[in-house]
Amino acid sequence: MSSNAKGPLVKRHRLSTRVWHWTNMVAIFLLIGSGATIFNAHPRLYWGEYGANFDPAWLVIDDRQSATGPRGFVNIGGAEFDTTGVLGVFEKGGETRMRAFPHWVTIPAEYSLSAGRRYHLLGAWIFGVAGFVYFFWSLFNRHIQRDLIPRKWQLTPACVRADIKNHIKLNFIHSGTEKYSLLQKLSYAGVILVILPVLVATGLTMSPNMNAAWPWLLDIFGGRQSARSLHFIAAFLLIAFIFVHLILVVLAGPYNEIRSMITGKLRLPAGDGR
Amino acid sequence: MTSRRTVLTGIGACLMLPGCERIGKTKPVHDLLYSLDGLTMRAQRLVTARGALAREYTEADLSPRFRVNGTRQPASADYARHQKEGFANWRLNVGGMVRRPLQISLSDLRAMPTRTQITRHDCVEGWSAIGQWTGVQLSRILDFARVSERAKYVLFRCADNYGDTPYYETVDMIEARHPQTILAWGMNGDILSVAHGAPLRLRSERQLGYKHAKYVMGVEAIESFAEIGGGKGGFWEDRSGYDWWAGI
């Protein structure tokens, strides 16, 4: 845990990582909120090439009338959950609204598919260009190879156990030869090398123009509606990552952590000098 | 530590949604948001082939039920009369910047060389349906009418109104002359139904559903759509701010 005794201040994050982090924060904020708006236009997900109201959906967020008024529900593969107040049916300014995602997560707050689509494309352009530059820069300066891919020795059972134990003890900040612990590496590599590329690629397949030119991309995901479902699932996994990320920043000491992402310098615990 | 937390909370609050929307309404951001479809169109056209064909499916892939969207039944007296007559006296008006304006009957359209394609219809809302469409390539009609070289867009005037506002759409010449861009009079092996846009609807297979104008009464070659309707190139573009280029 963060202690009051101060250890040395060490360089932790390079400039490209810091710039990308904050650019992404803005872009992903826009993308998640506007993505929720776009989902609200047709809050049903399918597998395969086609899918519309008469076709079976694996996920539905909707509302139905009941004796006590409208009830919101989520149906995942046949299992139904009442989500009144949060999803499907919610209150806005004393009024009952019936939409999948509520106004406090969507961009814009008042439903507008066209505005949501514009914000989503703005976010996508920022995210896509920044991600492209960062990815190739990080291959070039060997950030991915050196910092993100786990070392062989980190994968030995003893080291895996030690890292899990450190996380359980909330002991996050460490010195040593590696910038990131094994669990950190696995989650960052999973996001940067799997989740984000899936989001970009499935996002591109939402374009009928791209699908005409690059049909193989749609084939990878098993059709237009499968790609739409995978886009949503990948976004959900990214949100889960962001939640854990924010919780860990708070547990590891928010001042030190946020400073390290602004100035690049991280303070190590006392007695943990290198 | 407490004061630092307060500062951080403040930064978080600034990022909340209403603030974001206020930024979105400032002129530079508004202009940026409305220029993105042009940027996306140019970028996509840079990396994709002009003539790339949308995937064509087999009959086994057809949606069991193709959802009807938008107008189901145009309300005008004119349309009702044509519908009653089985569109026997109906004519497609081809005009604007053409050297040979035309009035083509439905039977003449059906006698023209046909193209049948099984394609996926992607709605802007997110759903997709696969249907079979039969019709005449728009490029044939444009050539037949000897469209001017100066024409940049093709305008489709439609019989369905939303209130007093007629539906219309425009596509540029790249999409208009695309081999899969057809004026369809048949669907799933039958004559096109009224709910799906009889007597004639546009298929523009590389764009989203709102481009696929139903109840097409007239086709005009134009140089600019600034003076037509609300000036944004289509009914939903005017009414709700949808992007003119609907390739994504």
ipTM rounded to 2 decimals: 0.91
CB B14 within 8 A of CB A174: no
What are the backbone angles phi and psi of residue B158, rounded to the nearest 5°? -120, 160
Measured in angstroms, the CA of A119 and the nearest CA of chain B are apart by 7
A62 has pLDDT over 60: yes
Closest Cβ opposite residue B40 in set A121, A218, A258: A121
Range of the domain at B201: 53-240
Note the pLDDT tens digit of each residue in B7-45: 554 455 445 556 667 777 788 888 999 999 999 999 999
B137 in a domain, yes or no? yes
A118 in the same domain as A36: yes
| Mean pLDDT for the stretch of residues A140-144 | 92
Note the pLDDT tens digit of each residue in B37-85: 999 999 999 999 999 999 999 999 999 999 999 999 999 999 999 999 9
A106 in a domain, yes or no? no
Contacts of residue B248 in chain A, CB cutoff 8 Å? 121, 206-210
For tokens 């079979």, the residue is: B132
| Mean pLDDT for the stretch of residues A154-170 | 90
CB contact under 8 A, B47 and A30: no
**Which residue type is seen at B37?**
D
Q: CA-CA distance, B185 to B135, in Å (whole number)? A: 5
Contacts of residue A262 in chain B, CB cutoff 8 Å? none
pLDDT score of B73: 97
pLDDT score of A177: 77
Residues 34 through 63 of chain A touching chain B, CB cutoff 8 Å: 38-39, 41-42, 44, 49-55
A96 in a domain, yes or no? yes
A155 in the same domain as A61: no
A124 in the same domain as A18: yes
Give the Cβ contact number of residue A72 at 10 Å: 24
A65 in the same domain as A174: no
Residues 125 through 184 of chain B touching chain A, CB cutoff 8 Å: 125-130
| Mean pLDDT for the stretch of residues A134-149 | 92
**Which residue type is seen at B101?**
P
Report percent pLDDT > 70 for chain A.
96
**DSSP track, A168-191:** HTT-----SS-SS-HHHHHHHHHI
Closest Cβ opposite residue B247 in set A209, A225, A228: A209
pLDDT score of B2: 46
Q: CA-CA distance, B78 to B159, in Å (whole number)? A: 9
pLDDT score of B19: 64
| Mean pLDDT for the stretch of residues A56-78 | 96
A274 in a domain, yes or no? no
Cα A224–A33–A27 angle (5° rounding)?
Answer: 90
Give the residue from B220, B221, B222, B216 showing the smallest Cα distance to B106.
B216
Range of the domain at A180: 6-42+112-269
Measured in angstroms, the CA of A57 and the nearest CA of chain B are apart by 11
B160 has pLDDT over 80: yes
Contacts of residue A111 in chain B, CB cutoff 8 Å? none
For tokens 């309404």, the residue is: B25
B37 in the same domain as B78: no
A21 has pLDDT over 70: yes
A25 in the same domain as A55: no
pLDDT score of A2: 46
B247 in a domain, yes or no? no
Residues 39 through 58 of chain B touching chain A, CB cutoff 8 Å: 39-40, 44, 47-49, 52-55, 57
List CB contacts of A185: < 8 A, sequence separation 6 or more.
A147, A148, A149, A150, A154, A178
**Which residue type is seen at A100?**
A
Size of interface A-B (CB pairs under 8 A): 142
A202 in the same domain as A93: no
The residue among A211, A220, A249 with the most chain B CBs within 10 A of its CB, best to mutate, is: A211
Where residue B179 sits, what CATH number does that domain have?
3.90.420.10
Q: How many domains does chain A have?
A: 2
B1 has pLDDT over 60: no
| Mean pLDDT for the stretch of residues B83-106 | 98
Q: CA-CA distance, A67 to B175, in Å (whole number)? A: 51
Where residue A138 sits, what CATH number does that domain have?
1.20.950.20
Give the residue from A51, A229, A216, A40 showing the smallest Cα distance to B120.
A51
B231 in the same domain as B133: yes
Closest Cβ opposite residue A210 in set B48, B57, B61: B48
Q: CA-CA distance, A262 to A13, in Å (whole number)? A: 9
| Mean pLDDT for the stretch of residues A78-104 | 95
Contacts of residue B47 in chain A, CB cutoff 8 Å? 213
A27 in a domain, yes or no? yes
Q: What is the mean pLDDT of chain A?
A: 93
Give helix A15-41 / helix A254-262 axis angle, nearest 10°.
100
Contacts of residue B15 in chain A, CB cutoff 8 Å? 29
Note the pLDDT tens digit of each residue in B182-230: 999 999 999 999 999 999 999 999 999 999 999 999 999 999 999 999 9
Q: Torsion-angle region of residue B7: left (phi > 0), alpha (psi -120 to 50) or beta?
A: alpha
B173 in a domain, yes or no? yes
Q: How many domains does chain B have?
A: 2
A1 in a domain, yes or no? no
B30 in the same domain as B134: no
B248 in a domain, yes or no? no
A107 in a domain, yes or no? no
